[in-house]
Structures are given as C-alpha cells and as structure tokens.
Amino acid sequence: MKKAGFGILSVIWVLGFFIWVLPLSDNSVWLKSARVALWILLGLSIYLLYSMSKKASHQDEEESFGVYLEKLNSANTEEDILKILRNMLSSSFLYDKLTVCLLNPQVPTVLRVIYTDGMIDSPKVDDNLSIKEGLWAYLFKQKESLVLNRYREKAPFEYRLTPGDFHYTLYNSLMGLCLQFETLKGIVITLESYNPAEYSQKYLDTFHQICLNFALAYHRLTTLDMLNHYATVDGLTGVFNHRAFKEKLFEEVYRARRYDQPLTLLMMDLDNFKKINDTYGHLYGDYILRIVADIIKNNVRMVDIVARYGGEEFTVILANAEKEAVKGTAERIRQKISEYPFEQDGIRETITVSIGMASFPEDSKDGISLIQAADNAMYKAKRSGKNRVEIYQ
C-alpha cells in the first residue's frame, strides 16, 4: 500500500513538472484536461497520504497497546503492574490525579489507596476512603465506567473526600470505574482533571479496556501470591511450614557460610501435649498451638524465621547469632510459654516446652546435621526433666 502510494505521488509530481513548471505554450484542450486530471490526482494523493498516516498511527497505537499488555501479563510485582497502568493511562489521557484503590479486606467499609500519580494532594497512598459517602463511595456502587464533567457543580454525591470540600478542591472533571473480582472485591480507578470538560463518553471504551486488563493482571498476581502463601505458611499457626523451613534453613546456612557468620537453630517440643489433646480434644490443642506460635514470634527478632516443624514442634532460625548469645532468647520463650494462662471454653491449663540449641558452623557443617544436632539437644532437655533449654555439646 505504501509503495503504491509513493508511486502515484511520483507520477503526479512528474506530470506537474511538465505541465506547470516547464514553460509550455500549448493551450490545447488536452493540456487543459491534463491540468484538471492533475488537480484530481493531487486531491487523491492528499487523501491517500492522510489515509496512510492515519492507518500508520492506528497501527502504532495497537502495537504500543500490545506491548503494554505483554508487559502487564509478564510483570511479577505490584509495583511493576502499577507503573505499567500509569504509562498506559498517561499515554492515552490527560489527567492531574490518578488514584487506584482496593476494598480493604480487614476493614470492608473503606477503600485503601494503593497508588497515586500526579498531584501530591489527598488522597495519598494508604489513605482510607469511605464507601458510604463521597466521590469514591459513589464510584464503588457503580457497575460501569463513567464520566463526570463539572462535578463540583452538579455532582450526584455530597463531597469529594470530606464534607464541604467542593468549595476549595481544584478538580472539576473525572473518569472512573469500579471492577469486581472473586478475590478482589472492589478495585476503583479514577482520573481527575482541573479542566471542567476534560473527558467525554468516547473515551470510556479505551479507559475501560486499559483498566480491565490492569485488573486482570493484578488479580493474577494476587492469586499467585495467595497460592504461594498457602504453600509456605502453616494454616493453623500462621508461621512457616515444614517445607518452607527447610528451604529457608538451607538459604541461611549458605549465606552464613559465604559471609563467615554464625547461625543458631532452636528446636522446640511442647511437653505432654498428647495428653492435653487426648483429654480436651484437638480444638483445645489447636488453640494452644496458635498461642505458642504467637509467643515465639513476639519474643524473637523480625529477621528471625519461625516455623512449625510438625505436630507440636516448632523451630526458630536465628541468623548471625551464636548459641551462647541467644540462650537468653530461648529462656525467655520457655518462660513466657510456661507462665501463660491457657484458657478456652472454661478449660484452664498450663504447658511447658523443651528447647534444644545448636549452631553452624560450630556444631555442624550443613543444614541437615544442624537439625539433627538441635534435635539431639532438645531430646536431652526432655530426658533431663522437660521445661528447660539445652545447648548441644
């Protein structure tokens, strides 16, 4: 198509050169007809150029949109997906404020702002927006994308963020929508502009398509995160499970070996736990396991790794720590558990824990032998009367 267009244009310019540029004195009928035909061809060439440029522009837009979609589908972090959304919207629309909100699963009466672009005024990231009143509440209840121009003058809601803010807010037009998914109960995306008539209905299809693809990509990412969470976290206690513990331990041992740092492992086993399960049932036993996991997490550092090893056994990986230096940590955990007043459904009990400690590289040369050393120390604590901490010798 492009070659044909350039060929026609070349012929027209050559004819024009001979008919208009060269000093031809012949005023015959054929020359007049040629000039008329040339005018017609010139008009066709202009139309052809316009069509070609419009088609090329449309193809460029499609290619650009396809590139963005490919990036969305391959992005692996929330930050990357949000940046791609910003790039797609900013290349298609003018706006002064972009806001992305999610329904807060912990507080289902508010939307939590996860991203903004443009002006640094409110709302800001991590702000909570009510779904009962105001602009975002109105959008949350809609089932399709919409455009609101001059919304300060004729808004179907009482205020933007807080009562009375229409008197001083600079924003005057808006385009937004709310999307619903099974694991994303509500995602609201808005573009706001100072221009009182920035958006029109013809923009809605493009806006909806961009936001829908973003929401699908975000839904994919959150689903993968959820599956990864279930694969690595113990469902009862909320700490790492056995499989994740093994992976983390081997990673920490590798890091300790590489940087020539110590590493200490605590192995813990609740004393007489089977008797409690047999006496009061597994629901009471589950209650104890959840409390014990919380006690352990609350008495170690943020960088330490807590896991449920299996049954009533727990383990803690303490990076860059020698066993003598963290014996106080183990004693504190033992004491907190023994002093805790376990009580549920009128049943009050006390429970104790036996703890074994071993260190890398002092007591072992790899992760497997480190587990065995800490396990041996823990069983020594059991044989020595329980409710005690033993260091591997």
**Domain boundary at 175, 202, 230, which?**
230
Q: What is the pLDDT of residues 140-179, one digit of tens each?
A: 988 788 999 998 888 888 899 999 898 888 999 999 999 8
Residues 148, 10 share a domain:
no
Pair type for strands 389-391 and 353-360 = parallel
Q: Is residue 130 part of a domain?
A: yes
**Domain boundary at 204, 230, 256, which?**
230
The pLDDT value recorded for residue 60 is 47
The pair of three-digit structure tokens given for residue 181, joined into one six-digit string: 């998914």
Residues 326, 363 share a domain:
yes
How many folded domains does the chain comprise? 3
Residues in the chain with pLDDT < 70?
Answer: 1-65, 182-184
| Whole-structure pTM value | 0.61
Residues 329, 267 share a domain:
yes
Residues 225, 84 share a domain:
yes
Residues 117, 10 share a domain:
no
* Nearest of 349, 353, 354 to residue 285 by alpha carbon: 349
Q: Which 3-state string (H, E, C) describes 339-384? A: HCCEEECCEEECCCEEEEEEEECCCCCCHHHHHHHHHHHHHHHHHC
Q: Is residue 237 part of a domain?
A: no
Q: Is residue 235 part of a domain?
A: no
Compute how many other C-beta atoms are within 10 angstroms of the C-beta atom of residue 45.
18
Strand order in the sheet with 305-310: 305-310, 313-319, 263-270, 353-360, 389-391
**Domain boundary at 230, 263, 278, which?**
230
Residues 331, 218 share a domain:
no
Taking the C-alpha atoms of residue 176 and residue 285, their distance in angstroms, rounded to an integer, is: 50
Residues 16, 87 share a domain:
no
Contact 256, 360 (CB under 8 A): yes
The pLDDT value recorded for residue 62 is 47
From residue 209, give the alpha-carbon distance in Å to each of 111, 205, 307. 22, 6, 43
Q: Which 3-state string (H, E, C) describes 20-72? A: HHCCCCCCCHHHHHHHHHHHHHHHHHHHHHHHHHHHHHHHHHHHHHHHHHHHH
Q: Is residue 108 part of a domain?
A: yes
CATH number at residue 202: 3.30.450.40
Residues 297, 213 share a domain:
no
Contact 276, 260 (CB under 8 A): no
Residues 271, 339 share a domain:
yes
Stated as kind and residue range, the H or E segment containing 97 is strand 97-103
Domain that includes residue 330, residue range: 242-391
Residues 225, 173 share a domain:
yes
Coil/strand/helix, residue 258: helix
Q: Is residue 119 part of a domain?
A: yes
Q: Is residue 236 part of a domain?
A: no
The pLDDT value recorded for residue 103 is 87
CATH number at residue 326: 3.30.70.270
Residues 155, 120 share a domain:
yes
Q: Is residue 128 part of a domain?
A: yes
Residues 378, 365 share a domain:
yes
